[in-house]
Amino acid sequence: MTTDIKPAIPIRTITEKHPYSICFVCLGNICRSPTAEGVMQHLVTKAGLQSYFHIDSAGTASYHIGELPDSKSREVAGQHNVILRSRARQLRSDDLSEFDLILAMDHENYSDILALDRKNLFSDKVALLRSFDPYPNHMAVPDPYYGGLDGFEKVYEIIRRSCSELLEVLETHIEFES
């Protein structure tokens, strides 16, 4: 991982009794953040670490509450053997205290997340997902909603790279119990 982009995120010892919780956040919670949730869940399951993590996603807006992820997100994820199971929900202020790490897909959502933190108690938990991407470009995961499958594939690859690097960082903090 490129160390000059790594954010100072709160990392603690991760155990099965005290799993590390991550919430991925985009605008409507039907494209980027459920894809990130599904990819991260896939990666931790593939590594046999699913009991060490709690992974979720949410949107900063209420546009799509209760909906499945966008059909194009599901199609592209499915082509990579990743199943997107979540339903859209809106980020709540309680999420700021409940999650260890909240990862925004872009700068606008990052600002919207911080706006929920009226007392500035949780800003150290909030970062951009692409701060883990070895090729961060402008740090935002582009919104593919109005585009074709190519845009969804590009977003999938960005998310996969970023989540792989994030998991690599977090794995060093797992304490396996005997």
Residues 123 and 97: their CA atoms lie apart, in Å, by 10
Known catalytic membership, residue 12? no
Known catalytic membership, residue 32? yes
The candidate with the shortest Cα–Cα distance to 140, out of 122, 154, 120, is: 154
- Catalytic entry in 32, 74, 89, 130: 32
- Catalytic entry in 26, 56, 74, 95: 26
Phi, psi of 57 (to 5 degrees): -150, 160
Q: What angle do CA 98, 99, 102 make, to 5 degrees?
A: 140
Residues 126 and 32: their CA atoms lie apart, in Å, by 17
Known catalytic membership, residue 31? no
- Catalytic entry in 143, 160, 161, 163: 143
Residues 106 and 96: their CA atoms lie apart, in Å, by 17
Q: Which residues are catalytic?
A: 26, 32, 143
